[in-house]
Amino acid sequence: MQNFFYKNPTEILFGRGMIAEIASRVPTSAPVLFLYGGGSIKRNGVYEQVKTALKQHRLVEFAGIEANPLYETCLTVVEVVKRERIGFVLAVGGGSVLDAGKFIAATACFTGADPWDILRSGGSAIEAALPVGTVLTLPATGSEANGNSVISRRATQEKLHFTSNYSFPVFSVLDPETTFTLPTKQVRNGVVDAFAHVMEQYMTYPADAPLQDRLAESVLQTLVETGPVTLAEPRNYEARASFMWSATLALNTLVGCGVPQDWATHMIGHELTAFYGLDHAETLAIVMPGVWQHKLAQKRAKLEQYGRRVWGVASAEAAIAKTEEFFSSLGMPTRLSAHKISAEDAAAKVSARFAQRKVAFGEHGDIGPEAAATILRLRA
C-alpha cells in the first residue's frame, strides 16, 4: 500500500426528513446563495423543504444550472455572489448543481486574472473558497462528499475537472425520498457512474491493499444487487437508500486510499460529452470496456479477481463481458454506434485534444493520444 493522507471533512446527513437539519448548520451571518437546476426540486417538494428549513435565513436564489454545468453560467452567478455579499453556497440538486456550487464558491474567492485557471490548474490555483453545503437529489457523482468538480465551457467545447481540499462540502443531505422523482434514465446513469468510480480506483493491478479491494467489491456488489431493484421500483426506499449510499462511498476518496488509480475512462468520457453531448455515464459505459480490452495484459490479475468475486466467472474476458451485460440490462448502450457516433471521428477528435494538452492517463500514465484513439476504435 502506498502512503496516503485521508481526511474527509463532509458531514453526511442521511435519511428521511434530514433537510430540516440544515437550519442549524447554515450560518445566518450573511446571505445564502440557494443554487439549483432546471426546476426538478420545485416539482418534488425539495424546494419547499429547503425554504421551510431556512426561513430564518436571507436566501438569494439562482435557478438554471444546466446538466454538465457551464462555465459561462457560473461566472454570471459569481457576479451575484459578489454583489450580494454571499457568505454560504447551498447547492440543491444533482452532481451538476453541486459541481457548479463548488466552482462558484472557489471563483468568488479567486484573486487570479482568469477563473479558467482554476480548471486549467486542476484545482491547485484554489487558495480559498466560500463554504458549500449540499442537498443531493441524484445519486451518481459522489460530488456530495468529495472535493471534485467538472465544468464545461460552451465557447471552446471543453470539459475540465478540478479537485481541491477547499471544495469538499461542509455537509450534504442525502434523503433517498428526494430521488423518487428521478427519470429512469438518470437512475441508470447514476448506477453506471458510481460503478465506474469504483472501477477507476480498483481495476488496475494488485497493490497489497486487500481492504480497499474488499471495500470496492462490496460497493460493486451492492450496485449489482440494488441497481436493477431501484430502477424497477422507484419508490422502494430501502433500495434507493442502498443505491444512494453506495454512490457516495464510490467516490468519497475511501476506496482509493493508497492504491493506484486509472481515470482514463473518465478523461476520454469527458471529451465525448464535450464533443457530442452524451450524458456523462453514457460515455463511461462505452469507454470502460475498451480501456480494459486495450490494457488486458496489465489489468488481467485484477480483472480475474473482480470476475471471480463479483460475478463468479473465471477469466478476465468473461469479467468484461459480464460488465457489459450488466450495463445493457440497465438499458445503457455500450457502443458509439448506439449514439450514431463514428468511432473514427471520435478517435481523431479525442486524440487531438490529448495531444494538444500533452496529457496521458491510466495507472501507468500511458493512455495518451494514440491509446485513446485505439480504445475508441474498439468501441465502434
**Residue from 95, 256, 290, 362 that binds ligand NZQ (CB under 6 A)?**
95
Neighbours of 24 (CB within 10 A): 8
DSSP 134: E
CA distance 282 to 270: 10
Q: How many CA atoms lie within 13 A of 165 on its CB side?
A: 6
CA distance 298 to 368: 16
- Asked if residue 115 binds ligand NZQ (CB under 6 A), the reply is no
Angle subtended at Cα 98 by Cα 104 and Cα 228, rounded to the nearest 5 degrees: 160
Radius of gyration of the chain (CA): 20
Q: Report, in Å, the least distance between residue 266 CB and Zn ion.
A: 6
Decide which of Zn ion, ligand NZQ, none touches 282; Cβ closer than 5 to 8 Å per partner kind: none
CA distance 200 to 89: 30
Sign of the torsion formed by the C-alpha atoms of 189, 195, 201 and 204: negative
- Our CB check for ligand NZQ shows the closer of 178 and 201 to be 178
Decide which of Zn ion, ligand NZQ, none touches 67; Cβ closer than 5 to 8 Å per partner kind: ligand NZQ
Q: Report whether 142 contacts 12 (CB < 8 A).
A: no
Decide which of ligand NZQ, Zn ion, none touches 178; Cβ closer than 5 to 8 Å per partner kind: ligand NZQ
Q: Report, in Å, the least distance between residue 99 CB and ligand NZQ.
A: 5
- Asked if residue 122 binds ligand NZQ (CB under 6 A), the reply is no
Site string for Zn ion, 161-200 (x = CB under 5 A): --------------------------------x-------
Q: Report whether 316 contacts 300 (CB < 8 A).
A: yes
- Asked if residue 137 binds ligand NZQ (CB under 6 A), the reply is yes
Q: How many CA atoms lie within 13 A of 326 on its CB side?
A: 26
- Which helix (H) or strand (E) covers residue 348, if one does? helix 343-357
**Residue from 57, 188, 266, 295 that binds ligand NZQ (CB under 6 A)?**
266
- Asked if residue 178 binds ligand NZQ (CB under 6 A), the reply is yes
- Our CB check for Zn ion shows the closer of 281 and 376 to be 281
Q: Report, in Å, the least distance between residue 315 CB and ligand NZQ.
A: 28
Decide which of ligand NZQ, Zn ion, none touches 91; Cβ closer than 5 to 8 Å per partner kind: none
Binding positions for Zn ion, rule: CB under 5 A = 193
Binding positions for ligand NZQ, rule: CB under 6 A = 37-41, 44, 67-68, 93-97, 99, 137-138, 140-143, 146, 148-150, 178-179, 181-182, 186, 189, 193, 251, 266, 280
